[in-house]
Structure 1
Amino acid sequence: MAANKPAFDWAAAWVMDPTPLADWLLVAPTLLLMLGGATAIMLRKKTDIQPWIGIGTIGLVVLSNILLLAHVLNNGIVSMVMGSWLPPFGIAFTADAMGVLFALAASIVALCAAIYAAGSIEQSERRYGFYPFLMLLLCGVTGAFLTGDIFNLYVWFEVLLISSFGMIVLGNEKRQLDGAMKYAVLNLLATTLFLVTTGLLYGMVGTLNMADIAMRIPQLPENAPVMGIAALYFLAFGMKAAAFPVNFWLPASYHTPRIVVSAVFAGLLTKVGVYALLRVMLVVMPEGREWLSTLIGLVAVATMLTGVLGALAQTDIRRMLGYIVISGIGTVLAGLAVGSEVSVAGSIFYAAHSILCMTALYLLAGLINLLGGSYSLRELGGLYLRSPLVAACTLVLLFAVAGLPPFSGFWPKVMLVEGALAGGMGWVAAGILVTGVLTAITIGRFWIFIFWRGGPEGVTDGTQVVVQATEEKAVIPVTVLIPLSILTGLIILIGIQPEGVMAIVQKGAAVLVDPATYVQAVFGVKP
């Protein structure tokens, strides 16, 4: 009887050919970070080697992301499904130019944070898990950037959130616990909304693979609640990204943890929300994005303006930078609102720039506190004479965050303004330009107060302050100098020679604007 049983065609469900060696680069970053995090946890009592485990592991992740980016640029989108299942049966990892660019930028800033933390995180905080938390947070961020499954995107959100909860309370201070509560409540609400919306989407299309969803949605009946699900995703990811009006949790929490933790949060966490918006609204349900385009544009302009006006009103450097993070999220959303290839490319470029620049600014804030003994603009002044190098580095980063030439923030803003004007959304372009002017005013005030004036508020500028500052030349710790040099150098290099990044973001935008390319890469057929 068994002999008469028909043979099963395994090739209909499984990949029968061995996976090419280069494709394993797709899962190498997450595997390395899981292994490194587990090793650091097992050796948590050996606090002296914790930085070496973190720096070594994340350094390997940077290298693997560089190789993966080269592989994607040379061979196109790479997709791998766990267990050798054919899509959409298994959990998929899919890497395109945008995802790998974000993963590479994230690993670079995490490496810089790991180096910085070697000189600023106390032994007790190392023992309580700073480096394992950092590696697992980067694991969640990287997994989110490289997943091709919408439920797995939720899982990676959970991984990074759990890690971030641990990082924000390191130190166990009252203000940290207060900030952690505000941060946790809003992010858990957003995560719950994301999960519920994903359940509704699965009930409607019967699949969780992003490419498969993109094929099935156009085939749904007209009365299917596609627009409602798109609106719920926009709300959930908008909360994650700190978009207006659900952004109040960010300036209430980002100033409370250790400055290196704030730097990692500012560089990475909101960008995962931005990435999810770009991926889901453009690839999975482009009709929903088109229907919501005006609303997205209004939210973008409101986010930009409220962010920069909030920054202008602050005297605490950390709070000011938190509002600048919010303003940058609005700039990215502007490209999503327009939806053209050049605008989407501008959004990808600006998000990658913001990952580098915001991390660098928070690390710089830590150095300013080290030199001046405060984060308050009222209590700082005269630092130019203590360290002209820090003053110059600050000016570079402030010009970059304002989108002024010749640094990395200039080119994406040009692309976004061009795309908005060409797409008939001149009011969005005006919002970008007005925000740029207000940001320039904000950074001018920042630099003048800290470096140009002779001393803190209430102290007469004069000889006494100048002589004191001249005699106390600053010595910058190597653990601060190395990460700031790396990030500032990249920002200058990208600004002077933007062609390489532009080529990457244009490839990434082409995949988002034309989902057929993404679907074909995953399934091997056009939808």
Structure 2
Amino acid sequence: MSSALVPLLVLLPLIGAAVTLILGRYPRLQIVISVSALTLVTAAAAVLLAVVDHSGEPVVVRVGGWEPPFGIVLVVDRLSAIMVVVSALMLLGVLVFAVGQGIADRDRDTPVSIFHPTYLILSAGLFDAFIAGDLFNMYVGFEMLLAASYVLLTLGGTGSRIRAGVTYVVVSLVSSLLFLGAIALIYGATGTVTMALLSERIRALPLDVQMILCVALLIGFAVKAAVFPLSFWLPDSYPTAPAPVTAVFAGLLTKVGVYAIIRTDRLLFFDVPLMVPLLIVGGLTMLIGILGALAQADVKRLLSFTLVSHIGYMIFGVAIGTELAMGATIYYIVHHIAVQTALFLVVGLIERVGGSTSITRLGGLLKKAPFVAALFFIGALNLGGIPPFSGFLGKVGLFEAGAQSPSPLVYALLAAGAITSLLTLYALMRVWNMAFWRPKAEVEGYESPLIESLQESPETTNGTATGVATATRNSALMTGATTGLIAITVALTVFAGPLFGLTQRAAVNVVTPEVYVESVFPGGTP
């Protein structure tokens, strides 16, 4: 019974995309279908998570009845089920926000007939990448979400979005070619792309060949995950998109790359000694990312740089590689998906209320929008790692795992992680002080309330650091969706004990791939 739900994770969004494309002239029906499709996926994923967690064994579907390695196999274990559940919740929340924004703006900036099918295709690509049981199907999932992301990134057709879209497309195509080239090398060396079979065949190869194959895959995934020094493209690409699109990109797309690194590193290249290089890369990603954030005056760019820096924590956990480290890493991924998505939606609310995302032009928002101020404050404390929030708990888990693997380099990474956390809090509190706490009258170029009120117009464009400040009202749907996502981030703290238990059980499956292999090949690998 549960196996029947697995294909629906991909089929429901694809069917929804087809139907919404046909119903392009009926925006209300598009909304109903999109919300229904993602709601059903969320429910199916939650059921699958309960099933695989209870049984301890992955749910495997052989598409079309073809046995692997000749056919496509879909595998849902604890890790992939967690990723699908969290992603579906975020996608659903952001979709509600986008609907509210469209209603408030009467869809002047976002062509609804294109948005909904594209958004659902991106969702299907994400889910497919998480449950793919072979590398080529994972590649197909990546390409689905990337093709959809090109369209979403350039919605509205403004010059800044087109320029950012060109950079994003070029970088994504290069990373896809690297991924496809790595798949070709692996197939040439082993004769298969089914991950359960690769888990055994790759270990039979000479260690230097394993190293070459591992690095080839890792580079492709590192571009998608925005790991330093391959993260240069992200801060210029994400901030130009509409708030809902930026939230999805920041919260989810980089985590697909991190997921792929975890899955392939622990399942395929368990014997490859990459701990030291990954630790170095993780530390540099933390520090370079947060130093870039400190130099930003635009809140979207600042958050984009903090996104890069916190990928470093995840790479640190992968480098340690123990059960405790992997469990803390999975928890931290869940935390970061939720917090980063929620914060970008909060910034979308700030942009509409304040007319800009530049802290040099914002002020007095605590008085003007106290509820938005509270949402940003909670998210900022969480991302900054202030106890007892989930950001603090995730970092403590990672630091504890690092302390159990003592070496000078690990201790250096622990120090880098603590510094990054403090600097993240400093950067976000600087935003709080400038945008919310500072009186509006202290903003450079301040104009009288009469003139300012005349500037407020529903014809809002995405504010920039150099644009003329205009402001619009937030709809109840936008505020409600953002509040819901912030509530999820708080729930990660309230239910941290059970969640840590779940991620720790998922980590056991990750570091002991025999369960994964046996579920795909019950009678032994061919």
TM-score, reference length from structure 1: 0.91
Of the three residues 219, 232, 238, the one matched with 2:204 is 219
Q: Take 1:328 and 1:139, find their aligned partners in 2: how far apart are those partners?
A: 26
Q: Which one of 298, 315, 319 corresponds to residue 337 of structure 1?
A: 319
**1:502–1:456: structure 2 CA closer, same or farther, 3 Å change rule?**
farther
Match of 1:115 in 2: 96
Q: Distance in 1 between matches of 2:361 and 2:311?
A: 30
**Structure 1 residue 64: Cα displacement:** 1.1
Report the AA paired with residue 44 of structure 2: S
Report matched runs for 1:372-521 at 5 Å.
Answer: 372-424=354-406, 425-455=410-440, 458=443, 476-521=474-519
Q: Which digits, 9 at most, give the CA deviation of each residue in 1:273-328, with x for residues without a partner? A: 0000000111111122xx11111111111111111111111011111111111111
SS state at 1:49 partner:
helix
- C-alpha deviation, 1:49, in angstroms: 2.6
- The letter for the 1-side match of 2:173 is L
Instruction: Find the aligned partners of 1:341 and 1:279 in 2 and give their Cα distance.
Output: 14
Query: In structure 2, do the counterparts of structure 1 residues 97 and 223 end up closer, same or farther at CA, with 3 Å as the change threshold?
Result: closer
C-alpha change, 1:442 and 1:525, in structure 2 (3 Å) is farther
1:400–1:410 Cα contact (<8 Å) kept? yes
Would the aligned equivalents of 2:21 and 2:114 in 1 still touch at CA under 8 Å? Answer: yes
Counterparts of 2:262 and 2:297 in 1: how far apart (Å)? Answer: 33
Please say if 1:247 is aligned against 2:231.
yes
Counterpart Cα distance in 1 of 2:436 and 2:308: 25
Which residue, 198, 207, 212 being the options, matches 1:228? 212
Q: What corresponds to 1:82 in structure 2? A: 63
CA distance in 2, matches of 1:274, 1:223: 24
Query: How much is the aligned-residue C-alpha RMSD, in angstroms?
Result: 2.1
Counterpart among 242, 253, 260 of residue 258 in structure 1:
242
Provide the C-alpha distance between the structure 2 equivalents of 1:169 and 1:112, rounded to a whole number of angstroms. Answer: 21
Query: Cα–Cα, structure 1 residues 526 and 336, in superposed 2: closer, same or farther, change >3 Å?
Result: farther
Do the aligned partners of 1:47 and 1:123 also contact (CA within 8 Å) in 2?
no
1:497 Cα offset (Å): 2.0
Corresponding pairs, count: 499
Matched-pair contact (CA < 8 Å) for 1:380–1:456: no
- Contact in 2 for aligned 1:406/1:496 (Cα 8 Å): no
Q: Is the 8 A contact 2:383 2:391 kept in 1?
A: yes
Residue pair 1:47, 1:126 contacting (<8 A) in 2 also: no
Q: Matches of 1:443 and 1:109 in 2, distance apart?
A: 22
The equivalent residue for 2:251 is 267
- Matched-pair contact (CA < 8 Å) for 2:101–2:474: no
- Specify the alignment match of 2:466 in structure 1: none
Partner of 2:332: 350
Distance 2:307 2:207 in 1: 39
Could you tell me which runs of 5 or more consecutive residues in structure 1 were left unpaired when the two chains were aligned.
1-20
Partner residue, 1:94: 75
For the 8 Å contact 1:300–1:331, the answer to whether it is kept is yes
CA distance in 1 between counterparts of 2:218 and 2:444 reads: 49
Question: For the residues of structure 2 that align with 1:124 and 1:312, how far apart are their CA atoms?
Answer: 31
Say if 2:349 and 2:479, in contact at 8 Å, map to a contact too: no
- Write out per-residue CA displacement over residues 248-277 of structure 1, whole angstroms, 9 at most, x where no aligned residue: 110011011111111111111101000000
Amino acid at match of 1:54: S
Q: 1:475 to 1:128 in 2, by over 3 A?
A: closer
Following the alignment from structure 2 to structure 1, what is the Cα–Cα distance between the partners of residues 5 and 51? Answer: 9
1:271-286 alignment, distance < 5 Å? 271-286=255-270
CA contact (8 A) 1:239 1:246 kept: yes
Structure 1 partner of 2:32: 52
Give me the whole-angstrom Cα distance separating, in 2, the residues matched to 1:482 and 1:181: 33
**Cα distance in 2 between the residues matched to 1:174 and 1:47:** 26
Tell me the CA shift for residue 45 of structure 1: 2.0
Does the aligned pair in 1 maintain the 2:352–2:473 contact within 8 Å? Answer: no
1:113 Cα offset (Å): 1.3
Cα offsets for 1:442-483 (capped at 9, x unmatched): 11101111111112654599xx88xx99xx999642121221
- Amino acid paired to 2:432: W
Distance in 1, matches of 2:173 and 2:307, equals 20
From 105, 111, 116, the counterpart of 1:131: 116
In the TM superposition, residue 521 of structure 1 has moved relative to its aligned partner by 2.1
Structure 1 residues 224 and 526, CA gap change in structure 2 (3 angstroms): farther
- Give the superposition deviation at 1:387: 2.4
Deviation at 1:35, TM superposition (A): 0.6
Distance change in 2, residues 1:399/1:526 (3 Å): farther
Q: What does residue range 140-155 of structure 1 map to in structure 2 within 5 Å?
A: 140-155=125-140
Q: Which runs of 5+ in 2 are unaligned?
A: 457-470
Q: Deviations over 1:185-233 (max 9, x none)?
A: 111101100000111001111111111100112223x366110111111
- Residue number in structure 1 paired with 2:463: none
Worse-matched range after superposition: 510-519 or 129-138: 510-519
> What is the deviation of 1:390?
1.6
Partner residue in 1 for 2:163: 178
The 3-state SS of whatever aligns with 2:75 is strand
Percentage of identical aligned residues: 34
Alignment-mate amino acid for residue 391 of structure 1: A
Deviation at 1:517, TM superposition (A): 2.0
Post-superposition offset of 1:62: 1.1
